[in-house]
Amino acid sequence: MSEDVYILGTDMIKFGRFPDRSVPSLGAEAALLALDDANLTIQDMEAVCCGNLGQAAAMVGQRIMQEIGQTGVPVVNCANACATGATAFREAWMGIKAGLYDLVLAVGVEQMGRGLLGGAGGAKGIPKEGLLGSQTMPAVFAEAGMEHSRKYGTTFEQFAKVSVKNHHHSTHNPKAMYQIETPLETVMNAEMIAYPNTKLMCSVNVDGAAAAILASEKKARELGMGRAVRVKASVLTSDPWQERDLVMPDVNSCTRLAAKTAYEMAGVGPEDVDLVELHDCFATAEILHYENLGLCGEGEAGRMIDEGESAHGGRVPVNVSGGLLSKGHPLGATGIANIYEISTHLRGEAGARQVEGARIGLTHVIGLGSACAIHVLEKAS
Amino acid sequence: MKEQSEETPQGPLPVVDFLKIPEDGDPYLEGFRCTSCDAVYLADRAACSKCGARDTLKTTRLSTQGNLYVYSIVHRSFPGIEVPYVSAIVDLEGGGTLKGNLINIEPDPEKIEMGMPIEVVFGDALGRVDRDGNTYLSYFFQPRG
């Protein structure tokens, strides 16, 4: 395989609600922060990969360039559901891996409405929601969680503990949407949205943007490896056929396939991973991914959350940023924001939430439909 | 100006294409089965999603008997949708998996048992009509026996 690809700069804006801002302006802010972090300029970039879902047909990448410098380089716009940002990052990685470019900007951005996400049904006929079950995201992920309950007896309380943990983590992340403690009783007694997911067990719809500067090995050596992060693996999968596909979107098999491929590509195993940012779009989902990513054995995810193994200071801290549950989930930005989080720990720059001695980290996102992206990152020096 | 006949509400119409309403006889569900790998689908497709074989999908009548696979109790939905309701995924005997409302059961996790026997029943689509005033026939799940 060819030489490695490196992250030389990465940053994100504080996630929040910015109804008066435009999508390109949010993306531009993150892009400039990442360029500054790498001590580079837009003139140094040989290509730009932009991830955005809500305006997928509206050339967001080029509109970001209008705000930060129209250099005429190739710009590609990616949409891949909640894996959109990670897909844009991977497009940048591929361009360098192919030997086409030495420096590429990847940026992900989203401006979200409020309220429930999900299919409201086709225009034809009558609304199907609440008639043929539910297509809302909280219910879809509730059902995915109940599959784990069915197999292993996982409880409502165990799912709720995920939310307690991730909200606690976010109290040390100034860029998270929320920095509030949510004790177990608060989580379990919050408004029930779709059993077993209460309101505090659903990710927060926020606006956000994140960006990264990717470099070839040659360019990274030239500019200095001091704060560089090595991309050990970049993997994208779609959902392989499963028996219940048609009515039950499958987040498990595409994650398992991506994890297996990523560990092989990186030459590491789950036991080597020091911290993980995974796709906790709902509290139920995080439990599934402990097993899908091999962080514990089959059926052990409930025990893993009970024993604090995925908490900061535990065996393998998961979502120390606060995760989608508390940091927020701006769909197109999420996949790069979690790469920013891992990179920040590998660089030893995460402040109060630093995972001490972190050398290898893993990011994971799922776009329902489905797409799974996993990146394995390593401290370069 | 539309023809008079097009404005006259008809009904009930099937809520989904795989629900069949014969002129004489009871409604039933019809899916597609791959004659090569036995996978069952609710709609036709260019080739089998599981094995990729072409021209192997044949219509198949789906069972009205099955078992509850998983569920969620929905307490908040889109505006105008009455809650709570039980969103259920049911595996049908002989193949095929459906999502629908589980009715005639209390929306309480203590009362709903995953794996419980379910039957498919047909009825009016909760009074919902389309913009032309057509009524619809839907399917529902209810505990069996």
Phi and psi for A209 in degrees, rounded to 5? Answer: -155, 150
Would you say residue B3 lies in a domain?
Answer: no
Model pLDDT, residue B8: 62
Distance from CA of B72 to the nearest CA of A (A): 5
* E strand residue ranges, B54-116: 57-61, 65-74, 85-92, 97-102
Q: pLDDT truncated to tens, each residue of chain A (381 aa)? A: 469 999 999 999 999 999 999 999 999 999 999 999 999 999 999 999 999 999 999 999 999 999 999 999 999 999 999 999 999 999 999 999 999 999 999 999 999 977 777 765 555 789 999 999 999 999 999 999 999 999 999 999 999 999 999 999 999 999 999 999 999 999 999 999 999 999 999 999 999 999 999 999 999 999 999 999 999 999 999 999 999 987 998 899 999 999 999 999 999 999 999 999 999 999 999 999 999 999 999 999 999 999 999 999 999 999 999 999 999 999 999 999 999 999 999 999 999 999 999 999 999 999 999 999 999 999 998
pLDDT tens column, A145-161: 999 999 999 999 999 99
pLDDT tens column, A357-366: 999 999 999 9
Distance from CA of B74 to the nearest CA of A (A): 4
Interface contacts (A, B; CB < 8 Å): 129
Contact A15, A178 (CB under 8 A): no
How many beta carbons lie within 10 A of that of residue A265, not counting itself? 16
Characterise A49 by phi-psi region: left (phi > 0), alpha (psi -120 to 50), beta (else): beta
Q: How many domains does chain B have?
A: 1
Nearest by Cα to B92 from B66, B118, B70: B66
Could you say which DSSP state residue A347 is in?
T
Model pLDDT, residue B3: 45
Which domain covers residue B101, as residue numbers? 12-143
pLDDT tens column, A14-32: 999 999 999 999 999 999 9
Using the structure block, give the residue that is written with the tokens 């109804």.
A19
Fold held by A5-114+204-379: Peroxisomal Thiolase; Chain A, domain 1 (3.40.47)
* E strand residue ranges, A246-358: 275-277
Strand partners, A277: A363
A375 has catalytic annotation: no
**Cα dihedral sign, B96-B99-B104-B108:** positive
**Domain chopping of chain A, boundaries:** 5-114+204-379
**Cα dihedral sign, A264-A269-A272-A277:** positive
Distance from CA of A153 to the nearest CA of B (A): 11
CA distances in angstroms from B123 to A81, B101, B120, listed in the order given: 35, 12, 10
Q: Which amino acid is at A20?
A: D
Q: Report H helices in chain B.
A: 4-7
Would you say residue B1 lies in a domain?
Answer: no
Nearest by Cα to A118 from A60, A187, A205, A198: A205
Looking at the complex, does the CB of residue A246 fall below 8 Å from at least one CB of chain B?
yes
Would you say residue B134 lies in a domain?
Answer: yes
Q: What is the ipTM of this complex?
A: 0.93
Q: Of B41, B50, B114, which has the smallest distance from its Cβ to A150's Cβ?
A: B114
Q: Are strands B85-92 and A275-277 parallel, antiparallel or unpaired?
A: unpaired
* pTM for the whole structure: 0.95
Q: Do B73 and A195 touch (CB under 8 A)?
A: yes
Would you say residue B4 lies in a domain?
Answer: no
Q: Of A130, A150, A245, which has the smallest distance from its Cβ to B85's Cβ?
A: A130
Would you say residue B2 lies in a domain?
Answer: no
3-state SS track over A159-228: HHHHHHHHHHHHCCCCCCCCCCCCCHHHHHHCCEEEECEEHHHECCCCEEEEEEEEEEHHHHHHHCCCCC
